[in-house]
Amino acid sequence: MARREKQVSQFETPAEPSRAAGCLVLLALAAVAVAVVFALSTEAGILSLWAAGTVALWRAAHHRKGTYQPLPSPTVAPSRGNVYAVETGRAREVRRLPSGGYVIHPEIEYVTGPDAGGEVNTP
């Protein structure tokens, strides 16, 4: 016999396993493990809870969110010859907002290096 596959209409999304259900299962397993340790020895249970709390706190304090790039060394001087943007007194564009205000976009000149000797590159 051929298996019947459940047909999903274009308006229904296929069911996905819940992440919360997985967390609850792990939480239940951890609770059972703690209960077993406490049943064996109260001191060992208290010590294991302190150890788990210390590890969780250390991990939360040392985990950088959003970036895994190391910070630049404070002993290395910044490199010369970078490109800097300088605003001029001229307006590139003026936009009127629906609220009645204005937004002024200035012209920007790009200067290469702090000691460029007046060399300016305009876009």
State in Å, rounded, how far the first CA of the chain is from the last one: 70
CA distances from 120 to 55, 64, 81, 92 (A): 54, 39, 13, 17
Write out pLDDT tens, residues 14-68.
Answer: 667 777 888 899 999 999 999 999 999 999 999 999 999 999 899 888 766 666 6
Rg (CA), the chain: 31
How much is the pTM? Answer: 0.38
Return the pLDDT at 87.
66
Residues 62, 55: Cα–Cα separation, whole Å: 11
Q: Which two tokens stand for residue 88?
A: 């001029």
Return the pLDDT at 92.
81
Is the pLDDT reported for residue 6 higher than 80? Answer: no
Return the pLDDT at 60.
82
Write out pLDDT tens, residues 60-119.
Answer: 887 666 666 666 666 666 555 566 666 677 878 888 989 888 888 877 777 665 555 445
